[in-house]
Amino acid sequence: MKPATFRYHAPATLTDALTLLSEYGDDAKVLAGGQSLVPILAMRLSRFDHLVDVNRVDGLAGITRENGHLVVRAGTRQRALERDESVAAHVPLLARAAPLIAHFQIRNRGTVGGSLAHADPASELPAVALALGAEFDIASERGTRRADAATFFESLWTTTLEPDELLVGARFPVWSGRSGFGIREVARRHGDFAIAGAACALAADDDGRLARAAIALFGVASTPWRAADAEAALTGAIATDVDAMEVAAAAVRGLDPTDDVHASGAARLAIAQHVVSLALSDALAEVRDAR
Amino acid sequence: MHDDDIAVTMNVNGERRRARVEARLTLADFLREECALTGTHLGCEHGVCGACTVLLDGDAVRSCLVFAVQAEGARVTTVEGLGGPDGALSPVQDALRAEHGLQCGFCTPGFVVSITALLAENPNPNDQEVREALSGNICRCTGYQGIVKAVQRAVSS
């Protein structure tokens, strides 16, 4: 359970980090919080000649408000999502997702950018980003680009990030006005990866009619998964008229989760439907209570 | 020793520690092998069991998931740094003993550090909060009841 040897780099600036990633390409891996990468290295599931530790890169952590978005810099610890009042005030779904991520000892170290770039399909942050319509700021020596959460996650542990690119921040839209949010998951133990989970965001007009609805599931496919049919059924409905069970059934239609040691595909599907109904009910209740 | 070894300096339990280490050496192995602080135990070595939990700049982390070189300039507290200088037990350690919160003791250092971190942030946690905070530490002996009681005892002591 010891990692193979590697060359360690700890750049102090973004420019230096990008130079290293450009120079070493596929032979290098970014080391952020290390809470997924170090186990992978320890079990020798993967090895890299170079690790580029971004923990000392100046300006890579922090949370700021910017033009209707909450910008979370990639190196921000997951624990900060629980502690930062602006997260709870402006992107409550993110604040509520944070305590579900692993254990507090992991969140003290794990980063927001690391979780998004690692793209484990059972993890919370990719699903939250997908539900809210977040965008990602990505840098390389070639320049910068902005990616939509909707197209960023390609497959299991795979995103559109190129080897020379670094995720530097995530822009979470602030859903203002009358809105409601919910996130629920089922795991064997608190802190384990979810067998299935669902994040839900709703925005309503003054009459309680749903103007916007998002449901993202995690743990049920090779990427976080948007329940487009269920969202369409919700949009335009009066919040108080929604039958959460019915929408949940529609949300998982078409999903075909695989069997694994934790649950059969069929069990996972039933759990997914259950957590959608719970997350949606939470969000609906909040919309109803919102003034 | 290898040519690629990297010099690292950190403060461990109030003492300055300096060594040249391989980049792949974990903080846990650094503490055990370079500092001879074998109170930090290694169970799984991949971040699941919690036995190697230490405080890194005050925050509880798994020392098997941090490379020693990453702790350059940091302040590390291990279980050895939590008791009194004369070897006296900390209130958390004392409560674990009183409530039979350990049997074989292998996981105990990790629990002591996690509980200490929990109470530093939340001095009066409810049962649910205690169980959640300790869900990342695995004990195969006690069934956890004594551990949870120990936290409540430490709170009221």
| A199-244: pLDDT as tens digits | 999 999 999 999 999 999 999 999 999 999 999 999 999 999 999 9
Residue B10 lies in a domain: yes
E strand or H helix that includes residue A249: helix A244-251
CA distance A87 to A132: 13
Same domain, B104 and B70: no
Bridge-partner residues for B132, per DSSP?
Answer: none
Q: How far apart are CA A78 and CA A129, in angstroms?
A: 14
- Ranges of CATH 3.30.43.10 domains, chain A: 7-53
Looking at the complex, does the CB of residue A1 fall below 8 Å from at least one CB of chain B?
yes
pLDDT tier for residue A189 given thresholds of 50, 70 and 90: confident
Residue of A nearest to B2 (CA): A5
Q: Are residues B111 and B76 in the same domain?
A: no
**Domain endpoint, select from B80, B101, B124:** B80
- Report the C-alpha gap between A152 and A133 in whole angstroms: 11
CB–CB of B47 and A51 under 8 A? no
Residue B85 covered by a domain: no
Look at chain B and report how many structural domains it folds into.
Answer: 2
Across the range A255-270, mean pLDDT stands at 94
Topology of A7-53 in CATH? Answer: 3.30.43
Mark which of B49, B80, B111 sits at the end of a domain: B80
Q: What is the DSSP letter of B81?
A: G
Q: In this structure, are B54 and B115 located in the same domain?
A: no
Percent over 70 (pLDDT), chain A: 100
Task: Say if residue B66 is in the same domain as residue B99.
Answer: no
ipTM field: 0.96
Q: What is the CATH number of the domain that holds B67?
A: 3.10.20.30
Question: CB B69 to CB A10 under 8 A?
Answer: yes
* Domain encompassing residue B126: 91-156
C-alpha A33, offset from chain centre = 15
**Better pLDDT: A76 or B2:** A76
**Among B residues 46-75, those touching chain A with beta carbons less than 8 Å apart:** 46-48, 50, 53, 56, 59-62, 64-67, 69-70, 72
- pLDDT exceeds cutoff 60 at B1: no
CATH fold of A63-173: 3.30.465
- A-B interface: how many C-beta pairs under 8 angstroms? 95
Q: What is the DSSP letter of B5?
A: -
Summarised one tens digit per residue, pLDDT across range B123-154 is: 999 999 999 999 999 999 999 999 999 999 99
The residue out of B80, B103, B122 marking a domain boundary is B80
Residues B12 and B64 in one domain: yes
Q: For A91-110, what is the mean pLDDT?
A: 98
- CA–CA dist A118, A102 (Å, integer): 14
Give the residue among A124, A134, A253, A268 at the shortest CA–CA distance from A199. Answer: A124
Q: Is the pLDDT of residue A291 over 70?
A: no
Judging by DSSP bridges, how do beta strands B75-77 and B53-56 pair with one another? antiparallel
For A179-289, the fitting CATH number among 3.30.390.50, 3.40.50.720, 2.10.25.10, 3.30.70.270 is 3.30.390.50
Percent of chain B scored above 90 by pLDDT? 95
Does one domain contain both B19 and B68?
Answer: yes
Mean pLDDT of the region B15-42:
98
Q: Which among A221, A191, A152, A262 has a CA at the least distance from the CA of A35?
A: A191
Whether B36 is covered by a domain: the verdict is yes
B68 and B121 co-located in one domain = no
Residue B1 maps to a domain: no
Q: Based on the domain organization, do B74 and B14 belong to the same domain?
A: yes
Four-residue CA torsion sign, B11, B13, B19, B23:
negative
**Whether the predicted pLDDT of A9 surpasses 80:** yes
Structural domain contains residue B86: no
